[in-house]
């Protein structure tokens, strides 16, 4: 089916055999099993989940779009742009950077 004829409530993952056409995969375990089996076959030792793959995709999308969180929000379908901005914060490590700078500043004040 062409992408432009899809509706927002259409399933993201569909069964390809022994099911009526375009049958939704069993929620949760079906996609999880696909991910774990595929990663095992690929030799990936780290425990992977559908959410980890989604997280990586959103983070990488921010990287290739130079941090254009509006575009990535559209891709990820997050209702609130602040959710995507959390991914961007993780990508750029803003919180860690500011925390480190504050700790350095506090340390300098102690020694004065």
pLDDT digits (tens, 9 = 90+) for 27-79: 657 788 888 888 999 999 999 988 899 999 999 999 999 999 999 999 999 99
Tell me if residue 26 falls in helix, strand or coil: coil
- Phi, psi for residue 90 in degrees, rounded to 5: -65, -40
pTM score, whole prediction: 0.60
- Alpha-carbon dihedral angle through residues 55, 80, 95, 44, given to the nearest 10 degrees: 0
Angle, helices 50-64/69-76, rounded to nearest 10 degrees: 150
Determine contact, residues 49/57, Cβ cutoff 8 Å.
no
Which residue is listed with tokens 């099993």? 33
CA distances from 111 to 72, 104, 105, 106 (A): 45, 11, 10, 9
Does residue 97 or residue 21 have the better pLDDT? 97
- For the chain, the structural domain boundaries read 1-48, 50-112
């Amino acid at each position: 089916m062409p992408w432009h004829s899809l509706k927002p409530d259409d399933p993201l993952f569909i069964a390809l055999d022994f099911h009526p056409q375009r049958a939704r995969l069993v929620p949760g375990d079906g996609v999880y099993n696909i991910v774990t089996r595929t990663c095992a076959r690929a030799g990936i030792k780290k425990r992977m989940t559908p959410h980890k793959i989604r997280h990586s995709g959103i983070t990488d999308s921010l990287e290739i779009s130079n941090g254009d969180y509006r575009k990535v929000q559209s891709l990820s379908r997050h209702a609130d742009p602040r959710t995507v901005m959390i991914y961007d914060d993780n990508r750029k490590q803003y919180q860690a950077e500011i925390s480190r700078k504050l700790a350095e500043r506090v340390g300098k004040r102690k020694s004065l």
